[in-house]
């Protein structure tokens, strides 16, 4: 058990949340939800473009590549200097002593100016200039590659900081919920209404919630440190959501790979490196050729010890050629040739790396978007389950362990969904970076970055014959993985089965006078259904006649029943008719009794959810056959039981101004322990608002939204406890089978 000081602190924290016995996750106060450990952020706001631009100007990796490009430009100037003459000047003074000629010791001095102009060096200078020009382009593409990599890493750090801030807030929510339940169980135990084992269970789970919170805070610390390393400063307190990049992705992975070949700077650097190696190889051939220089010299000296000076002037054309250098020239040529092959190998490796990186990143963009639908559905389902578990716990049908397990599963489901939301944005950025387009799409670059034209290049020329094949592993969807899995679904039996002999004469589709009695009973049953979504009428025959007779006859009989229902006021757009002939017998056709049972009309009264599922399945089957859905039916309202909806946007809650208005209104009129019926939990605010308004109109009841943890919960109430059962029945008839009561 925690110390009294800890309990007091926990109670103060619990007062910051909406009180109640339900474990439904409610938004905790802004002070808790937005609190971050100190020293983890700087005041202010920032967006992704600002952060990447700052990283490009300050990151050491980009700065090193920039200085490498500048140095490569100077190297080209060094090589070009060999085209120009070399001029040297020399002067000196001294004293000499000579024996035997009577001069003895005397002073000497000289001054000389020499000029040397290379005429021919076996194209060594030309090859060196070309090599260094190519090397400069290699450095340029390496700078672009370093910039794209740093832009991607800055985006990754930005996304991860936002991700773990959200995960810390989720862990704070989870901790607050467990602390609240701990306080409730402790109060029960103190009053004698609870069991000590329940207090031990919630104490252990509270410790786990504290550990989870510390883990997420530690993860936030680590990604914040990585952010500082890449960007150069701590992240701002308020980070804007990352922009959506999916609209800039190509429609297929093959097109993405082709665009990567055309735009990836590291691949282009590898191609230019081949040309630099070839220029180096050409330069080594100069060792096997003569050299021709023009030399000029002029000077004056007094070096003979005789009074007077002597001037000398000369100009000469000098040819020279090495005859033997110990095999060094041949070894240089062979080494350069091997480096050409090495650069080709490196280009192939770069090609394979670019293809792999693009294929993986692009596949992640598709897989994660589909996966998010299932993760969101799982999160919403667990949100409903934990509410139901809390109700069952309150009446003794569930243990506290069941409730805590459902709470922990919701926490993990929320974590998985948040991670998927950020992962899909990161996958988009990875794909664009692999194609060399991330900076272009975001509109960021160094202000001093030269263009290819300023570098004197038109870009690399791609040779399709040497580029690695685009084909790779095919992408997949869940349908591809489950297509071969044949799990028979439970057969939905008809609600009403009518004997065809009682409705029709032999070989006739006209209703008999006695048919009215049975069909009127069916009409009354249909009118009593408030959750009706569709009516399927199926005609069946025995095997007496041929299919050419039975099929149209069974269809006409189904149509006759449908026409009668329409004449009694049943809407035609709810009815679908089918004729199966003798293909679906329910008894043996070998006996008269069996054949009589097979001559029947089956009527299935579908709920809204069943009807929506059947229409969706029919559209999917039509799409598989025709490639698109022909003449699609008008879209029906979303089925709130499953809360199936498209997911979009970064993990967000209801706008503060909306929440503030609703909270203020509710706080002024709603008792603290008022009862509500939670109908659905939706991830899109617009859908939740629409459902709230529809329920309020149809049921003539107040409806509200309770938003938190990325879900917008539609609730009816406050409700008098005496009306609870009746309202749940009405909701069940409307198709909202999973509504449950919450307090607060």
- Give 371-395 pLDDT, tens digit per residue: 999 999 899 888 888 888 887 787 7
Contact 182, 189 (CB under 8 A): no
Residue 429 maps to a domain? no
Domain span holding position 532: 496-626
If asked whether residues 541 and 662 sit together in one domain, one would say no
Task: For residue 61, report the phi and psi dihedrals to the nearest 5 degrees.
Answer: -65, -45
User: Is residue 517 over pLDDT 60?
Assistant: yes
User: Is residue 2 over pLDDT 90?
Assistant: no
- Distance between CA 507 and CA 19 in Å, rounded? 69
Confidence tier at 658 by pLDDT (50, 70, 90): very low
pLDDT > 70: what percent of the chain?
83
If asked whether residues 667 and 597 sit together in one domain, one would say no
If asked whether residues 662 and 619 sit together in one domain, one would say no
Residue 571 maps to a domain? yes
Contact 22, 393 (CB under 8 A): no
HSE-up of residue 710 (Cα within 13 Å, Cβ side): 25
If asked whether residues 504 and 613 sit together in one domain, one would say yes
Q: Read off the pLDDT of residues 557-590 as tens digits, 9 standing for 90 and up.
A: 999 999 999 999 888 888 888 888 888 899 988 8
- Apex 449 CA angle, 445 and 455, nearest 5: 140
Q: Residue 522: give its domain's CATH number.
A: 3.30.1330.60
How many domains are there within the chain?
A: 2
Full strand arrangement of the beta sheet holding 496-499: 496-499, 600-607, 532-540, 575-579
Q: Where are the beta strands (DSSP E) in 359-514?
A: 496-499
3-state secondary structure of 711: strand
The residue out of 626, 647, 674 marking a domain boundary is 626
Structure tokens at 347: 């280009």
Whole-number average pLDDT of the chain: 82
If asked whether residues 621 and 713 sit together in one domain, one would say no
**pLDDT for 29:** 30
Q: Read off the pLDDT of residues 190-233 as tens digits, 9 standing for 90 and up.
A: 888 888 888 898 999 999 999 999 999 999 999 999 999 999 99
Q: Enumerate residues 6+ apart whose C-beta is below 8 A from 4.
A: none
Q: Where do the H-state alpha helices sit in 232-264?
A: 253-263
- Apex 391 CA angle, 386 and 397, nearest 5: 100
- Distance between CA 267 and CA 264 in Å, rounded? 6
If asked whether residues 605 and 665 sit together in one domain, one would say no
Residue 520 maps to a domain? yes
**pLDDT for 11:** 35
Q: Read off the pLDDT of residues 453-497 as tens digits, 9 standing for 90 and up.
A: 888 888 888 888 778 888 878 777 777 777 766 655 556 778 889
**pLDDT for 270:** 94
**pLDDT for 699:** 84
User: Is residue 314 over pLDDT 80?
Assistant: yes
Residue 567 maps to a domain? yes
Q: Where do the H-state alpha helices sit in 395-464?
A: 400-434, 438-442
Residue 590 maps to a domain? yes
If asked whether residues 526 and 613 sit together in one domain, one would say yes
Confidence tier at 125 by pLDDT (50, 70, 90): very high
Averaged pLDDT, 402-427: 92
Residue 17 maps to a domain? no
Letter string b/e over residues 53-79, b meaning 16 or more CB atoms within 10 A of that residue's CB: bbbbeebeebeebbebbeebbebbeeb
- Whose structure tokens read 């039996």? 493
Averaged pLDDT, 118-122: 94
**pLDDT for 614:** 66
Averaged pLDDT, 308-332: 91
Q: Residue 715: give its domain's CATH number.
A: 3.30.70.1070
**pLDDT for 651:** 25
The residue out of 626, 644, 671 marking a domain boundary is 626
**pLDDT for 628:** 40
If asked whether residues 520 and 583 sit together in one domain, one would say yes
If asked whether residues 718 and 677 sit together in one domain, one would say yes
Residue 712 maps to a domain? yes
If asked whether residues 572 and 685 sit together in one domain, one would say no
Q: Read off the pLDDT of residues 18-51 as tens digits, 9 standing for 90 and up.
A: 223 333 333 333 333 346 667 788 999 999 999 9
**pLDDT for 615:** 64
Name the β-bridge partners of 741.
Answer: 677
If asked whether residues 507 and 622 sit together in one domain, one would say yes
If asked whether residues 618 and 685 sit together in one domain, one would say no
Residue 448 maps to a domain? no
Instruction: Tell me the CA distances in angstroms from 478 to 367, 624, 656, one per residue in order.
Output: 9, 15, 37
Full strand arrangement of the beta sheet holding 675-682: 703-708, 711-719, 675-682, 740-743
- Distance between CA 696 and CA 694 in Å, rounded? 5
Reduce the secondary structure of 59-83 to three states and give it as a string: CHHHHHHHHHHHHHHHHHHHHHHHH
pLDDT > 90: what percent of the chain?
47
């Amino acid at each position: 058990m925690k110390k009294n000081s800890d309990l007091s602190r926990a109670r103060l924290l619990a007062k910051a949340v909406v009180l109640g016995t339900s474990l439904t996750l409610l938004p905790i106060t802004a002070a808790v939800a937005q609190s971050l450990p100190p020293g983890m952020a700087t005041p202010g706001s920032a967006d992704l473009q600002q952060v990447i631009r700052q990283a490009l100007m300050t990151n050491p990796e980009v700065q090193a590549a920039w200085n490498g490009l500048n140095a490569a430009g100077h190297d080209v100037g060094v090589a070009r200097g060999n085209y120009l003459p070399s001029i040297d000047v020399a002067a000196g003074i001294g004293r000499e002593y000579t024996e035997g000629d009577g001069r003895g010791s005397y002073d000497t001095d000289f001054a000389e100016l020499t000029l040397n102009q290379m005429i021919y060096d076996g194209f060594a200078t030309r090859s060196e200039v070309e090599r260094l020009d190519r090397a400069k382009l290699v450095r340029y593409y390496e700078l672009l590659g370093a910039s794209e990599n740093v832009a991607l890493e800055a985006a990754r750090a930005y996304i991860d900081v936002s991700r773990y801030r959200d995960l810390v807030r989720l862990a704070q929510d989870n901790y607050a919920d467990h602390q609240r339940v701990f306080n409730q169980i402790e109060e029960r135990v103190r009053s004698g209404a609870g069991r000590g084992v329940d207090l031990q269970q919630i104490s252990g789970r509270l410790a786990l919630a504290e550990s989870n919170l510390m883990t997420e805070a530690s993860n936030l610390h680590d990604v914040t440190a990585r952010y500082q390393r890449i960007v150069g400063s701590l992240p701002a307190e308020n980070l804007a959501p990352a922009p959506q990049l999916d609209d800039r992705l190509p429609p297929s992975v093959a097109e993405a790979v082709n665009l990567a070949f055309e735009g990836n700077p590291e691949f282009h650097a590898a191609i230019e490196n081949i040309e630099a190696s070839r220029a180096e190889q050409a330069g080594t051939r100069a060792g096997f050729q003569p050299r021709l220089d023009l030399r000029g010299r002029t000077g004056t000296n007094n070096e003979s010890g005789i009074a007077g000076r002597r001037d000398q002037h000369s100009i000469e054309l000098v040819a020279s050629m090495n005859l033997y250098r110990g095999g060094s020239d041949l070894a240089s040529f062979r080494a350069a040739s091997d480096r050409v092959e090495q650069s080709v190998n490196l280009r192939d490796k770069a090609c394979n790396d670019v293809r792999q990186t693009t294929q993986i990143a692009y596949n992640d963009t598709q897989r994660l978007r589909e996966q998010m639908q299932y993760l969101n559905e799982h999160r919403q389902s667990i949100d409903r389950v934990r509410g139901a578990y809390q109700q069952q716990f309150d009446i003794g049908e569930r243990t506290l362990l069941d409730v805590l397990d459902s709470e922990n599963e919701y926490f993990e489901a929320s974590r998985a969904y948040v991670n998927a939301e950020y992962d899909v944005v990161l996958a988009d950025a990875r794909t664009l970076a692999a194609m060399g387009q991330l900076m272009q799409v975001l509109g960021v670059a160094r202000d001093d970055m030269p263009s290819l034209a300023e570098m004197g290049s038109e870009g690399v020329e791609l040779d399709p014959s040497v580029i690695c094949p685009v084909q790779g592993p095919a992408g997949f969807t869940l349908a591809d993985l489950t297509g071969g899995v044949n799990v028979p679904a439970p057969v939905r039996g008809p609600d009403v089965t009518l004997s065809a002999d009682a409705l029709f004469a032999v070989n006739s589709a006209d209703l008999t006078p006695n048919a009215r009695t049975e069909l009127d009973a069916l009409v009354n049953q249909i009118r009593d259904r408030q959750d009706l979504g569709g009516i399927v009428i199926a005609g069946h025959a025995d095997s007496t006649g041929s299919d050419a007779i039975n099929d149209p006859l069974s269809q006409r009989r189904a149509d006759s029943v449908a026409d009668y229902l329409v004449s009694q006021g049943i809407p035609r757009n709810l009815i679908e008719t089918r004729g199966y002939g003798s293909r679906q017998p329910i008894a043996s056709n070998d006996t008269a009794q069996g054949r009589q049972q097979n001559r029947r009309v089956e009527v299935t009264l579908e709920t809204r959810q069943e009807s929506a599922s059947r229409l969706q399945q029919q559209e999917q089957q039509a799409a598989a056959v025709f490639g698109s859905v022909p003449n699609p039916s008008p879209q029906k309202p979303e089925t709130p039981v499953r809360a199936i909806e498209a997911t979009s946007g970064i993990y967000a809650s209801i706008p503060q101004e909306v929440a503030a208005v609703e909270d203020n209104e509710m706080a002024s009129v709603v008792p603290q322990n008022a009862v509500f019926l939670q109908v659905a939990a939706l991830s899109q605010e617009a859908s939740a608002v629409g459902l709230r308004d529809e329920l309020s109109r149809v049921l003539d009841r107040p409806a509200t939204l309770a938003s938190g943890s990325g879900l917008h919960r539609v609730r009816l109430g406050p409700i008098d406890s005496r009306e609870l059962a009746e309202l749940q029945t009405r909701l069940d008839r409307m198709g909202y089978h999973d509504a449950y009561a919450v307090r607060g």
